[in-house]
């Protein structure tokens, strides 16, 4: 009956009996257990004839159809759940994934291998992605890459293959993060971008990674619009805006120049990749990549740069002692490098600031004045040292160092501050800060005068 009503409605679109036929069509669909179609036709009828004489019976049919559709969907879901529970391979896969999460790699591997040569199973792609992760954790990168490649290749012919996107991410991440080979990672990242539907928002994490890979390849001109778009998307967050500004500025900076006499081309490429990660403030990954450059036998000032950047990564990640250990290499192995004074200055600032150790900071500043008395950081070192001795109330040394600074740098913009503010306070044995005793005395005096 429903088929005849459908045919009649198609043949007589302008008939005066169309309203009656449409109402009877909805009822016939419900009688035929086509509940989803009955709901669709019932809703369309009520929208088209809101005040017609058949409104009440169609509404009753629609209510019954909705209830029956819900019951039908619930039964289908229960059947699917029962089927899921009885699929032994699904249970095997879930146990393997749990073992992988607990780092029980042998158990995980045995579970994932149950899907070997079972490409037609709907869960094969998910299992083979896990197999690749397990192989990578066990250090067998060849098997991991082959597994991910197999999933990606099958997904090209069978788009419903699970975890093809995850496999591309994993492979690209390995090339960029572990091998520091951005040229191999870029095709996968661009393929992932191409899979994003046109009307869907761009994946910001993916876009940032594409920008970093381009930056690591020295293609700052192509990376810049990527970072500019990300900045625009986060325009309401001023902190993130500063982050993107720094990356955009990195795109405008000329890339470092490769000098064959100093290092190998491979080691230099790893150093450039590490610089891109540093600009993105990915401290742990950048530090690991700088170590890879050093292990690749990078030499000369490039090696000194990598060591200094390693220390900066450690400091930014909160490992201050580890950073100082690396910085101390600029008193020995790298003392004659172009970056020695920069590294020691950063060590001193780290001690004076986050670590709160002014005595140790002063030693680093004195090391700069001893090792690089005319270097580009000597002025900053002498200024910091003079300031620390003043704050530490070493009056004679503070006076001497301030006067030495004026003598050595007579054109300094700080000359007026030194002569009108700092030196007079030092002569009076005062600092710009109150001691704890002075603060307590001032508080008592305020209370005696009736101030709260």
| pLDDT tens digits, 85-140 | 567 899 899 999 999 999 999 999 999 999 999 999 999 999 999 999 999 999 99
Reported for 333-337, long-range contacts at CB under 8 A and 24+ positions apart, including other chains, are 334/303, 334/304, 334/307, 335/371, 337/300, 337/301, 337/303, 337/304
Q: What percent of the chain is predicted at pLDDT more than 90? A: 65
Tokens of 319: 């490992």
| Residue 367 reports pLDDT greater than 90 | yes
Cβ neighbors of 264 (< 8 A, separation 6 or more) are 296, 297, 298
Q: What percent of the chain is predicted at pLDDT more than 70? A: 94
Residue 16 dihedral angles phi and psi, to the nearest 5°: -70, -15
Spatial separation of the C-alpha atoms in residues 412 and 198, rounded to whole Å: 57
Q: What is the mean pLDDT of residues 155-176?
A: 95
Q: Give the pLDDT confidence score for residue 423 in this predicted structure.
A: 96
Which of 143-147, 261-265, 305-309 shows the lowest per-residue confidence on average (mean pLDDT)? 261-265
Residue whose C-alpha is closest to residue 54's, from 83, 26, 20: 20
| Residue 381 reports pLDDT greater than 90 | yes
Q: Give the pLDDT confidence score for residue 85 in this predicted structure.
A: 58
| Residue 196 reports pLDDT greater than 90 | no
Q: Give the pLDDT confidence score for residue 83 in this predicted structure.
A: 62
Q: Give the pLDDT confidence score for residue 442 in this predicted structure.
A: 58
Return the ∠ at Cα 67 (arms to 65 and 69), rounded to 5°: 65
Using CA atoms in the order 391, 397, 401, 403, what is the torsion angle rounded to 10 degrees?
Answer: 110
Burial class (CB in 10 A: 0-12, 13-18, 19+), 115: buried
Q: Give the pLDDT confidence score for residue 243 in this predicted structure.
A: 93
Residue 258 dihedral angles phi and psi, to the nearest 5°: -75, 130
| Residue 434 reports pLDDT greater than 70 | no
Spatial separation of the C-alpha atoms in residues 250 and 229, rounded to whole Å: 15
Q: Give the pLDDT confidence score for residue 164 in this predicted structure.
A: 96
Spatial separation of the C-alpha atoms in residues 252 and 222, rounded to whole Å: 11
Residue whose C-alpha is closest to residue 173's, from 162, 187, 185, 164: 185
Spatial separation of the C-alpha atoms in residues 352 and 348, rounded to whole Å: 6
Give the CA radius of gyration of the chain: 35
Q: Give the pLDDT confidence score for residue 303 in this predicted structure.
A: 93
Q: What is the mean pLDDT of residues 35-51?
A: 89
Determine the length of the chain. 452
Q: Could you tell me the pLDDT band of residue 1, with boundaries at 50, 70 and 90?
A: confident
Q: What is the mean pLDDT of residues 320-346?
A: 95
Helices 340-352 and 378-391, axial angle in degrees (round to 10): 20
Q: Give the pLDDT confidence score for residue 156 in this predicted structure.
A: 94
Q: Could you tell me the pLDDT band of residue 417, with boundaries at 50, 70 and 90?
A: very high
Cβ neighbors of 279 (< 8 A, separation 6 or more) are 215, 246, 247, 250
Neighbours of 374 (CB within 10 A): 9
Tokens of 18: 């169309």
Q: How far is CA 248 from CA 245, 347, 394, in A?
A: 5, 27, 44
Give the tens place of pLDDT for each residue, 54-98.
889 989 989 999 999 899 888 888 777 766 656 789 989 999 999
Which of 48-62, 203-217, 315-329, 394-408 shows the lowest per-residue confidence on average (mean pLDDT)? 48-62
pTM of the model: 0.73
Q: Give the pLDDT confidence score for residue 294 in this predicted structure.
A: 93
| Residue 449 reports pLDDT greater than 60 | no
Spatial separation of the C-alpha atoms in residues 452 and 441, rounded to whole Å: 14
- Please answer whether residues 107 and 99 qualify as being in contact, where contact means their C-beta atoms are separated by less than 8 angstroms: yes
| Residue 439 reports pLDDT greater than 80 | no
| Residue 262 reports pLDDT greater than 90 | no
């Amino acid at each position: 009956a429903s088929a005849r009503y459908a045919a009649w409605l198609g043949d007589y679109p302008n008939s005066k009996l169309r309203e009656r036929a449409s109402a009877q069509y909805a009822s016939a669909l419900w009688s035929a257990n086509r509940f989803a179609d009955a709901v669709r036709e019932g809703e369309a009828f009520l929208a088209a004839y809101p005040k017609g004489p058949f409104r009440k019976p169609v509404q009753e049919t629609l209510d019954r159809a909705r209830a029956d559709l819900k019951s039908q969907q619930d039964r289908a879901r229960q059947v699917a759940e029962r089927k899921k529970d009885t699929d032994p391979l699904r249970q095997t896969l879930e146990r393997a994934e749990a073992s992988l999460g607990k780092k029980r790699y042998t158990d995980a591997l045995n579970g994932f291998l149950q899907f070997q040569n079972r490409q037609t199973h709907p869960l094969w792609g998910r299992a083979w992605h896990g197999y690749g992760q397990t192989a990578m954790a066990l250090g067998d990168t060849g098997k991991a890459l082959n597994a991910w490649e197999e999933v990606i290749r099958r997904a090209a012919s069978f788009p419903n293959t699970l975890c093809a996107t995850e496999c591309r991410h994993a492979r690209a991440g390995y090339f960029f993060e572990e091998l520091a080979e951005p040229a191999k990672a870029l095709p996968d990242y661009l393929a992932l971008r191409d899979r994003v539907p046109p009307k869907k928002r761009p994946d910001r994490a993916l876009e940032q990674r594409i920008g970093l890979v381009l930056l690591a390849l020295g293609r700052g001109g192509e990376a810049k619009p990527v970072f500019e778009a990300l900045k625009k998307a986060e325009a309401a967050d001023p902190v993130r805006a500063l982050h993107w500004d720094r990356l955009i500025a990195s795109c405008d900076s000329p890339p470092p120049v490769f000098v064959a006499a100093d290092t190998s081309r491979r080691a230099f490429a790893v150093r450039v990749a590490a610089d891109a990660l540093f600009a993105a403030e990915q401290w742990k990954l950048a530090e690991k990549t700088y170590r890879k450059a050093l292990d690749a036998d990078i030499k000369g000032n490039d090696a000194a740069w990598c060591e200094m950047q390693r220390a900066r990564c450690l400091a930014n990640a909160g490992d201050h002692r580890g950073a100082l250990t690396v910085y101390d290499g600029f008193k020995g192995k790298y003392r004659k490098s172009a970056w020695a004074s920069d590294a020691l200055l950063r060590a001193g600032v780290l001690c004076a600031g986050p670590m709160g150790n002014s005595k140790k900071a002063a030693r680093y500043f004195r090391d700069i004045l001893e090792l690089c008395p005319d270097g580009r950081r000597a002025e900053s070192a002498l200024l910091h040292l003079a300031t620390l001795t003043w704050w530490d109330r070493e009056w004679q040394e503070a006076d001497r160092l301030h006067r030495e600074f004026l003598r050595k740098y007579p054109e300094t913009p700080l000359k007026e501050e030194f002569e009108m503010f700092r030196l007079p306070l030092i002569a009076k044995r005062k600092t710009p800060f109150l001691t704890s005793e002075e603060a307590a005395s001032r508080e008592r005096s305020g209370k005696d005068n009736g101030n709260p």
